[in-house]
């Protein structure tokens, strides 16, 4: 049933190659990603990480997805207001110990513009194509606290212009905190190295390569947290 909550079809978006994958630590989990076909050909991109694991986290994840989908279609450009409302809805629907990190963005293919709010999630990594300015950026300029923990929170949104060849990597901490048999974390440095080896690959193949690198580091050690990854490549 949880598998059906993840995107079953990818809305076609002009000039964008994208893909997502979630691998839970247990049979079910609290990580979440979603793609929403929005008015005027835009794409909504969500990725979140609910506290805890197992059935309880999965139920909170389903509530988060429902809250976001119910409001995103009419939110327009006001992403900060959208996440403020999602925070309240999740707070009302969950217990005191349940909350989630959440990154939500809307991509406008006509303007190649990405608006986003980061509510406590790992800052996504933007790898600029050669000739598009600085090579590496983190989308950490706006946001707020996690959703569902406090009844009233305010959020800020930001936007960034993208260009052909740019690659956006959105992930949960299950990747950066993957552990080796000796209890060493994979870490952001190794994640960035894996991303650097994705140059020119389609989004789906980028995900496969990054997962392969994380698994090679883990060397068979048990997966301790849900691992979710979303890749967007501008064509």
Instruction: Tell the CATH topology of 3-234.
Output: Phosphatase 2c; domain 1 (3.60.40)
Q: In sequence order, what E strands does 167-213 have?
A: 167-171
- Please give the residue that has the higher pLDDT: either 29 or 77: 77
Indicate if the pLDDT at residue 91 is higher than 90.
yes
Which H helix or E strand runs over 32?
A: strand 31-37
pLDDT band at 113 (very low <50, low <70, confident <90, very high): very high
pLDDT band at 97 (very low <50, low <70, confident <90, very high): confident
Counting Cβ atoms within 10 Å, is residue 12 exposed (0-12), middle (13-18) or buried (19+)? exposed
pLDDT at 13: 97
The tens digit of pLDDT for each residue in 174-200 reads: 888 899 999 999 998 999 999 988 888
pTM for the full model?
0.94
User: Three-class SS of residue 106?
Assistant: strand
Beta bridge partners of 48: 32, 102
Counting Cβ atoms within 10 Å, is residue 200 exposed (0-12), middle (13-18) or buried (19+)? exposed
Domain boundaries, the chain: 3-234
The tens digit of pLDDT for each residue in 197-211 reads: 888 899 999 999 999
Q: What percent of the chain has pLDDT over 90?
A: 71
The tens digit of pLDDT for each residue in 114-170 reads: 999 999 999 999 999 876 666 889 998 889 999 999 999 999 999 999 999 999 999
The token pair at 40 is 């005027």
The tens digit of pLDDT for each residue in 38-52 reads: 999 999 999 999 988
pLDDT at 131: 67
Owner of token pair 């609910």: 50
Distances in Å between the Cα of 32 and the Cα atoms of 5, 76, 206 are 9, 22, 19
pLDDT band at 3 (very low <50, low <70, confident <90, very high): low
């Amino acid at each position: 049933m949880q598998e059906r909550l993840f995107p079953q079809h990818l809305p076609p978006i002009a000039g964008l190659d994208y893909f997502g994958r979630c691998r839970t630590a247990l049979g079910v989990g609290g990580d979440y990603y979603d793609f929403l076909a929005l008015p005027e050909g835009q794409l909504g991109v969500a990725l979140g990480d609910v506290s805890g694991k197992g059935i309880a986290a999965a139920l909170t994840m389903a509530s988060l997805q429902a809250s976001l989908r119910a409001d995103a279609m009419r939110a327009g450009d006001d992403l900060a207001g959208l996440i403020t409302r999602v925070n309240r809805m999740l707070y009302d629907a969950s217990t005191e110990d349940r909350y989630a990190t959440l990154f939500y963005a809307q991509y406008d293919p006509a303007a190649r513009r990405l608006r986003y709010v980061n509510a406590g999630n790992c800052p996504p990594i933007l790898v600029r194509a050669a000739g598009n300015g600085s090579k590496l950026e983190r989308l950490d300029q706006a946001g707020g606290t996690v959703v569902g923990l406090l009844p009233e929170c305010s959020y800020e949104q930001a936007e960034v212009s993208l260009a052909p060849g740019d690659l956006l990597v959105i992930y949960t901490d299950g990747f950066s905190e993957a552990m080796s048999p000796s209890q060493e974390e994979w870490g952001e440095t190794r994640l960035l190295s894996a991303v650097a080896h994705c140059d020119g690959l389609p989004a789906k193949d980028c995900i496969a390569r990054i997962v392969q690198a994380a698994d090679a580091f883990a060397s068979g050690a048990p997966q301790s947290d849900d691992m979710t990854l979303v890749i967007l490549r501008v064509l």
